[in-house]
Amino acid sequence: MRSIVFEDLERARALLLLLVLLVVFWIVFGLYCLIREPPFRRKITGSWLWKKQWLYHPVIIFCFLLPGARGACIAPCGPCLAPLLLALLSAVAFNCGADWGQLLQKPGLRFILCYYLHHVAPLLAFVRVAASPELPLSFVVAQALAFTQAWGMHTVLDLKHRGVIDWESPKIIAIYHAIGLPVIVFFCVEVARQAASQASSFQDMLVLGLPLALQYGTRWGLWGPLLKMSPEVDNKFDRAKQKIEPASFALGAAVACATQWATQWPVVG
């Protein structure tokens, strides 16, 4: 049985170590700005560059997770390119250290873990691709699209704050999830296909899906504590998200199992 966790273990270890250092840096920097330097934080979030990166978060994440990570994996300069791209991606994923004010309200362990792991998830996805030269392109595309959908919520938020859309309208909610459903199903099918085609273990399949599971699971986990601390943030878009996204993953898992059975893939596990 062949493991599909990481194919280039040496590169994976180096990138994971860098990932840990970057996460520590952004956590410390973000809390410092939030607690000691609020004016500096306002300068960050008020800058043209920060506003643009927030608006285009899904596009940026997609570029890092598909051409970026794939290029760092197969290019001759990959060993030098991958750490640089990971560092740049960390700045985007952590919003350049612009942490939420709720972190100052004694939010509790669940909120803290979900908040920071939500930012870590795309970094893990990048390392997963950058350290796996034999990972099929179809899976890399599926993962990049799924993360793009997740981070697309920031675009919706930006357009809502600028008065461009009413994000609580049934039309906007329907469009967002109409795009998300096939993307999530595609990802679930690719996870099952990759694990089955390599005759890998069930644990390997879980590792394949871990970054995206972390991304969505932590954002669902944030909602309860956030609503408790700041009831004014309650809205129809987030309430719909909390119900529709888990249902989309359940449907994706069902489709993956049905497709595996129909094509007579080996049973995973």
Is residue 150 over pLDDT 80? yes
pLDDT tens digits, 36-47: 888 888 888 889
pLDDT of residue 105: 76
Instruction: Calculate the average pLDDT of the chain.
Output: 86
Is residue 56 over pLDDT 60? yes
Q: Residue range 239-248: average pLDDT?
A: 95
pLDDT of residue 103: 76
Query: Residue 142: which residues within 8 A CB-CB, separation 6 or more?
Result: 183, 186, 187, 189, 190, 191
Q: Please give the model's pTM, rounded to 2 decimal places.
A: 0.89
CB 140 within 8 A of CB 24: no
Q: Residue range 232-240: average pLDDT?
A: 92
pLDDT band at 1 (very low <50, low <70, confident <90, very high): very low
